[in-house]
């Protein structure tokens, strides 16, 4: 992350970044059987999505990648553009210290969602914020602008993508159990699934490898551990999965 002074950013940021264009990232994680989103607390006290601006010679995708890296410390993240928000009143209530700043102008924001492994993330605030932390998807606080709507649309897109993209690889730790994978799907879809049918369906995708180990330590019968078979997983990502759900 480059160091940039706030005053510089407001006054001369447009020498580095395109005006009127921003990127917002809905970063999903999964922890303790809950779907989480990473949010930032503005200096004003309100919460918002991590976002950024597009450098003059930078691709929009790269700008999203950069934001992701800066907020999470991770690279090679699963990232997907899902919608562009372009209503002129989307930033209602906008207040920037310097009224003449380029940042004070209208912004069209390109929405990306990311899937990250919760335990690997080291949340980092940006220069405009004081705090960066996970929120339960069902307990998101009031957000600035249209950010609530952006999250809603991100979640809808994620649900759609679940149809033909194996999604656990990005959200779970390397080794995981079927019940864990099922919780993940149930959380994203917000519905409960039949244990036996779920397992059958998942295994039918043929992208998993069952290990001989089991997850011990918990109460009750120890479940098997699985991991993604990298080769088959990659192939599935390219071809799209067989239809389902």
Partner DNA sequence: GCAAAAGTGTTCTTCTTACACCCATGG
Partner DNA sequence: CCATGGGTGTAAGAAGAACACTTTTGC
DSSP lists the bridge partners of residue 214 as: 224
**How far, CA to CA in Å, does 179 sit from each of 36, 138, 182, 218, 232?**
18, 21, 5, 13, 21
Site for a second copy, residues 57 to 86, rule: CB under 8 A:
57-61, 63, 81, 83-84, 86
- Closest distance of CB 191 from DNA, Å: 10
**What DSSP state is assigned to residue 118?**
G
Whichever of 12 and 20 has its CB closer to a second copy, that residue is: 20
- Comparing CB distances to DNA, the nearer of 26 and 167 is 167
Is-contact 128 42, C-beta < 8 A? yes
193 near a second copy (CB under 8 A): no
Work out which of 19, 73, 179, 223 binds a second copy, going by CB under 8 A: 19
* 196, interface contact from a second copy, DNA, none, CB < 5-8 Å by kind: DNA
Task: Kindly determine how many residues on this chain lie close enough to bind a second copy according to the rule CB under 8 A.
Answer: 21
Q: Does 87 bind a second copy (CB under 8 A)?
A: yes
What are the residues binding DNA (CB under 7 A)? Answer: 177-179, 194-197, 199-201, 214, 216-224, 243-244
Spatial CB neighbours of 11, under 8 Å, sequence gap ≥ 6: 98, 101
Residue 216 interface partner, choices a second copy, DNA, none, CB cut-off 5-8 Å depending on type:
DNA
Q: Which helix (H) or strand (E) holds 80?
A: strand 78-85
Answer whether 10's CB lies under 8 Å from 1's CB.
no
C-alpha distance from residue 129 to each of 33, 62, 235 (Å): 28, 22, 40
Instruction: Confirm or reject binding of residue 88 to a second copy (CB under 8 A).
Output: yes
Q: Which residues bind a second copy (CB under 8 A)?
A: 18-21, 54, 56-61, 63, 81, 83-84, 86-88, 106, 108, 110
């Amino acid at each position: 992350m480059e160091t940039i002074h706030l005053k510089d950013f407001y006054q001369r940021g447009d020498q580095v970044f395109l005006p009127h264009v921003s990127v917002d990232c809905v970063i999903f994680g999964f922890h303790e059987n809950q779907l989480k989103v990473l949010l930032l607390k503005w200096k004003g006290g309100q919460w918002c999505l991590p976002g950024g601006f597009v450098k003059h010679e930078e691709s929009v995708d790269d700008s999203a990648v950069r934001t992701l890296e800066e907020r999470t410390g991770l690279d090679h993240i699963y990232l997907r553009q899902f919608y562009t928000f372009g209503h002129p009143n989307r930033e209602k209530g906008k207040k920037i210290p310097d009224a003449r700043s380029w940042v004070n102008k209208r912004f069209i924001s390109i929405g990306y969602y990311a899937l990250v492994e919760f335990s690997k993330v080291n949340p980092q605030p940006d220069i405009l914020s004081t705090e960066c932390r996970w929120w339960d998807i069902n307990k998101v606080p009031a957000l600035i602008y249209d950010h609530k709507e952006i999250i809603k649309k991100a979640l809808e897109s994620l649900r759609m993508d679940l149809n033909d993209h194996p999604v656990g690889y990005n959200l779970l730790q390397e080794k995981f159990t079927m019940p864990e994978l099922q919780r993940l799907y149930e959380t994203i879809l917000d519905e409960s699934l039949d244990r036996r049918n779920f397992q059958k369906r998942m295994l039918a995708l043929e992208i998993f490898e069952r290990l001989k180990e089991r997850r011990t330590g918990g109460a009750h019968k120890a479940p098997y551990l699985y991991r993604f078979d990298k080769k088959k997983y990659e192939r599935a990502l390219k071809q799209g999965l067989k239809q389902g759900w």
